[in-house]
C-alpha cells in the first residue's frame, strides 16, 4: 500500500506543471462558456467529456456567433482529428494493454498530457499505462475544476467577452507555431488564413473555415508529395523552431518505427 | 438554445472528440501507421489553426470584414513571437491577454 502511495505522489509531481498551467486557461474557458450560455453543471460535464481546451473555446466562440450545431460539430471534428495522430503515436507503447483499458485511456488523452506521456514512455522504461492514465486524470481534474470556477466567476463579474476570447486566438497561435516545421507549412498556413477570411465573408458562413482547412492542407500534402525524391528542397528544410519539450511531438514517426 | 440543446451538443461533442482518439489507438496497437495517413494529417493542424486565427482577427460576428483590428493584429504577431521564443503555452496566452487589454486602451 505504501509503494502505491508513493507512486501516486511521484506521478502527481510529474503532472503538476501541466496542472498549474491549466488553471488560468481553464478559468478563461469557463468564463467564455458561461457567456455562451453554459451553466456550471454543463461546463463541468463538457470539460470531463470533451477535455480539450481548443475544442471548448471553439464551441464557446462558435455559439457566440450563432453557428448552427452541425457546423460546430464539423469544425470540432477537424480540430480533434489531430488526436488521431497523437493517439496513433502512443499505440506502440500500449500494445499489451487490454481493449477496455485502451478505451478508458483514450477518453482522457489530450495534447498536453500526451506530451508528458510520450516523453515518459520514450525515455523511462518503467513508465506504464497506469501511470499514464494517472497523469491524464490529474490534468482532467485541474482542468474541470478550473472551468467550473471560471463559470462561477463569469456569473459574478461581467467581462469583456472579446478580450477573454483572445485567449483562444493566443492558444491557437501557440499551437500553430509549435506545428510549423518548414517553409511549406508556413505557406499552407498563409493560404489557409487568406482562404478562410475570403470564404467566410463570401459564403456568409463558417463553412468557409472547413473548406479553407481542407483545401490548404490538401495542397500542402500534394506539394510535399511532388517534392519527394528531390535532394533537400528549400520548402521542406527544417526551420528548427522547436527544441525542448515540443520537439518530441515531431518524432513519433521515427520512434514508432523503432518499436516495430 | 434550451437546456436539452446544450445537453445534446455536449454528448455529440464528446463523441466527436472521442472517436479520433480511440480508433487509431485500437487500430494501430495491432498494425503499423500508413505513410499517407501521416503525411495527410501533418498539414491539417497548421491549416486549421491559421483559418481559426484569421477568422478571429479579420472577420466580425456578422461575417463581414473587420476593419478595426489593429490591436488584434499586433497582439497576434506578438503571440507568434512569444510562442516561438518561449515555447510555453502559459506564457504565450498571458502575454497575448496583457497585450490585447493594453492595446484596447490605446486604440
Given a cut of 80, whether residue B41 has pLDDT beyond it is: no
Q: What letter would DSSP give residue A213?
A: H
| Cell numbers linked to A228 | 519527394
Task: Residue A43: give the domain boundaries.
Answer: 2-169
A235 within 8 A of B62, measured Cβ to Cβ = no
Would you say residue A205 lies in a domain? no
Of residues A105, A160, A178, nearest to B83 (C-beta): A178
Of residues A168, A175, A260, nearest to B32 (C-beta): A260
CB-based contacts of A128, cutoff 8 Å, min separation 6: none
pLDDT of residue A124: 87
| Cell numbers linked to B37 | 495517413
Rounded distance between C-alpha atoms, residue A62 and residue A73, angstroms:
10
Please indicate whether, in this complex, the C-beta atoms of B50 and A95 are within 8 angstroms of each other: no
Of residues B18, B39, B51, nearest to A107 (C-beta): B18
Map grid coordinates 455562451 to a residue: A36
Percent of chain A with pLDDT over 90: 33
Would you say residue A223 lies in a domain? no
From chain B, the residues in CB contact with A63 under 8 A are 1
* CB atoms near residue B19 (< 10 Å): 16
A59 within 8 A of A67, measured Cβ to Cβ = no
Please indicate whether, in this complex, the C-beta atoms of A253 and B44 are within 8 angstroms of each other: no
Please indicate whether, in this complex, the C-beta atoms of B96 and A167 are within 8 angstroms of each other: yes
Rounded distance between C-alpha atoms, residue A209 and residue A94, angstroms:
35
Please indicate whether, in this complex, the C-beta atoms of A242 and B97 are within 8 angstroms of each other: no
Would you say residue A135 lies in a domain? yes
From chain A, the residues in CB contact with B67 under 8 A are none
Would you say residue A117 lies in a domain? yes
| pLDDT tens string A4-47 | 557 888 899 888 888 888 888 899 899 999 999 999 999 999 99
Of A144-148, A172-176, B93-97, the range with the highest mean pLDDT is A144-148
A142 within 8 A of A19, measured Cβ to Cβ = yes
> What ipTM was predicted for this assembly?
0.83
| B37, B41, B46, B105, best to mutate vs chain A, most A CBs in 10 Å | B46
| Cell numbers linked to A238 | 527544417
B66 within 8 A of B57, measured Cβ to Cβ = yes
Burial class, A194, CB count within 10 angstroms (exposed 0-12 / middle 13-18 / buried 19+): middle
- Model confidence at A252, pLDDT cuts 50, 70, 90, reads very low
Q: How many structural domains is chain A composed of? A: 1
* CB atoms near residue A82 (< 10 Å): 21
What global pTM score does this model have? 0.73
**Residue ranges of domains in chain B:** 1-31, 33-65, 68-107
Rounded distance between C-alpha atoms, residue B15 and residue A133, angstroms:
20
Our CA-based measurement puts residue B4 at a distance from the nearest CA of chain A, in whole angstroms, of 11
Distances (CA, A) of B88 to A170, A173, A243, B94: 11, 11, 12, 10
pLDDT of residue A141: 96
- B33 phi-psi bin (left φ>0, alpha ψ -120 to 50, beta other): beta
| Cell numbers linked to B77 | 504577431
Given a cut of 70, whether residue A3 has pLDDT beyond it is: no
Distances (CA, A) of A206 to A34, A68, A181, B58, B63: 22, 9, 28, 13, 8
Of A19-28, A159-168, B75-84, the range with the highest mean pLDDT is B75-84
Mean pLDDT of A160-183: 84
Give the number of beta-carbon pairs within 8 Å between A and B.
289
Q: Please give the full DSSP string across A89-147, using - where no structure is assigned.
A: HHGGGGTTS-HHHHHHHHHT--HHHHHHHHHHHHH-TT--HHHHHHHHHHHHHHHHHHH
Of A54-58, A66-70, A84-88, the poorest mean pLDDT is in A84-88
- Judged by a CB distance cut-off of 8 A, whether residue B91 touches chain A is no
Q: What letter would DSSP give residue A236?
A: G
Would you say residue A201 lies in a domain? no
Would you say residue A203 lies in a domain? no
From chain B, the residues in CB contact with A25 under 8 A are 89-90, 93
- Judged by a CB distance cut-off of 8 A, whether residue B67 touches chain A is no
Rounded distance between C-alpha atoms, residue A13 and residue A6, angstroms:
11
Would you say residue A110 lies in a domain? yes
Give the N- to C-terminal CA distance of chain B in Å, as an integer. Answer: 35
Distances (CA, A) of A138 to A10, A143, A198: 12, 9, 42
Q: Please give the full DSSP string across A207-230, using - where no structure is assigned.
A: HHHHHHHHHHHHHHHHHHHHHTTS
Rounded to the nearest 5 degrees, what angle is found at the Cα of A181, between the Cα atoms of A106 and A170?
70
Given a cut of 90, whether residue A138 has pLDDT beyond it is: yes
Amino acid at each position: 500500500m505504501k509503494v502505491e502511495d508513493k507512486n501516486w505522489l511521484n506521478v502527481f509531481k510529474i503532472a503538476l506543471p501541466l496542472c498549474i498551467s491549466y488553471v488560468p486557461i481553464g478559468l478563461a474557458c469557463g468564463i467564455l462558456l458561461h457567456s455562451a450560455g453554459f451553466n456550471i453543471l454543463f461546463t463541468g460535464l463538457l470539460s470531463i467529456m470533451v477535455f480539450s481546451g481548443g475544442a471548448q473555446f471553439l464551441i464557446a466562440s462558435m455559439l457566440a456567433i450563432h453557428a448552427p450545431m452541425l457546423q460546430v460539430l464539423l469544425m470540432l471534428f477537424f480540430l480533434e482529428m489531430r488526436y488521431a495522430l497523437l493517439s496513433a503515436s502512443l499505440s506502440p507503447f500500449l500494445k499489451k494493454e487490454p481493449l477496455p483499458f485502451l478505451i478508458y485511456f483514450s477518453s482522457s488523452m489530450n495534447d498536453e498530457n500526451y506530451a508528458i506521456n510520450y516523453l515518459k514512455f520514450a525515455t523511462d522504461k518503467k513508465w506504464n499505462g497506469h501511470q499514464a492514465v494517472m497523469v491524464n486524470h490529474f490534468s482532467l481534474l485541474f482542468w474541470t475544476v478550473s472551468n467550473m470556477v471560471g463559470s462561477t466567476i463569469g456569473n459574478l463579474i461581467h467581462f469583456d467577452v472579446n478580450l477573454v476570447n483572445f485567449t483562444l486566438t493566443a492558444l491557437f497561435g501557440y499551437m500553430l507555431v509549435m506545428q510549423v516545421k518548414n517553409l511549406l507549412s508556413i505557406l499552407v498556413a498563409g493560404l489557409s488564413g487568406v482562404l478562410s477570411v475570403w470564404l467566410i465573408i463570401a459564403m456568409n458562413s463558417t463553412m468557409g473555415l472547413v473548406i479553407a482547412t481542407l483545401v490548404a492542407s490538401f495542397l500542402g500534402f500534394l506539394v510535399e508529395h511532388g517534392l519527394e525524391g528531390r535532394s533537400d528542397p528549400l520548402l521542406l528544410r527544417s526551420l528548427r523552431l522547436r527544441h525542448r519539450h515540443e520537439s518530441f511531438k515531431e518524432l513519433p514517426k521515427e520512434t514508432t518505427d523503432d518499436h516495430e | 438554445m434550451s437546456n436539452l440543446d446544450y445537453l445534446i451538443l455536449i454528448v455529440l461533442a464528446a463523441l466527436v472528440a472521442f472517436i479520433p482518439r480511440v480508433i487509431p489507438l485500437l487500430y494501430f496497437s495491432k498494425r503499423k501507421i500508413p505513410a499517407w495517413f501521416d503525411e495527410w494529417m501533418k498539414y491539417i493542424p497548421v491549416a486549421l489553426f491559421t483559418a481559426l486565427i484569421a477568422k478571429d482577427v479579420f472577420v466580425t460576428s456578422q461575417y463581414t470584414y473587420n476593419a478595426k483590428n489593429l490591436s488584434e493584429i499586433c497582439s497576434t504577431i506578438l503571440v507568434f513571437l512569444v510562442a516561438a521564443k518561449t515555447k510555453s503555452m502559459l506564457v504565450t496566452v498571458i502575454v497575448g491577454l496583457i497585450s490585447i487589454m493594453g492595446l484596447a486602451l490605446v486604440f
